[in-house]
Amino acid sequence: MDPRISVIQGDITRQTCDAIVNAANTSLLGGGGVDGAIHRAAGPDLLAECRTLHGCDTGKAKITGGYRLPASYVIHTPGPIWRGGENGEPDLLASCYRSCLALAAEKGCKTVCFPSISTGVYHFPLAQAAAIAIREIRAFLAEHPLPEQVTMVCFDAKTKAAYDKALAER
């Protein structure tokens, strides 16, 4: 097991941590799923700040304040839309995790919470997404002192089971 990585089932908007990651769309102006939930919980100031960022490319990340969330920051990353896996989707998803972790470390974040990026309306296969996420988080943590703790916050039991399985594998 990795003491710096944990997997829980819950609501990411209720996690007390330094940064939560938003599985955003490229506009950064809110959407459905976790993106909409984060924008609703953070309040209108989040959208106002996101407007100043002028979007974000898939696989990259941008950071804002957390506003009404119990997190200091929101790190927004647009994940790839699954189009069969032959269009760079695995590499783009891996880049999402690396970009978010690098921004978190740069801002001095000790605790970061991630949702399952791209596995909702973007239809990335869950087991493959979980394996990529855990691999990238492990690799980053092996090379960096921050963040000290990364938590995968899974919306439902099926998602949590996939991340638990990926975490148990070497």
Active-site residues, by number, are 35
- DSSP 8-state symbol, 83: S
Q: What is the largest CA-CA distance in the chain?
A: 42
Rounded CA gap, 39 and 31, in Å? 8
Q: How far apart are CA 150 and CA 164, in angstroms?
A: 14
Helix axes 126-143 and 157-168, enclosed angle (nearest 10): 50
Q: Are 71 and 113 in contact (CB under 8 A)?
A: yes
Strand-pairing partners, residue 9, are 154
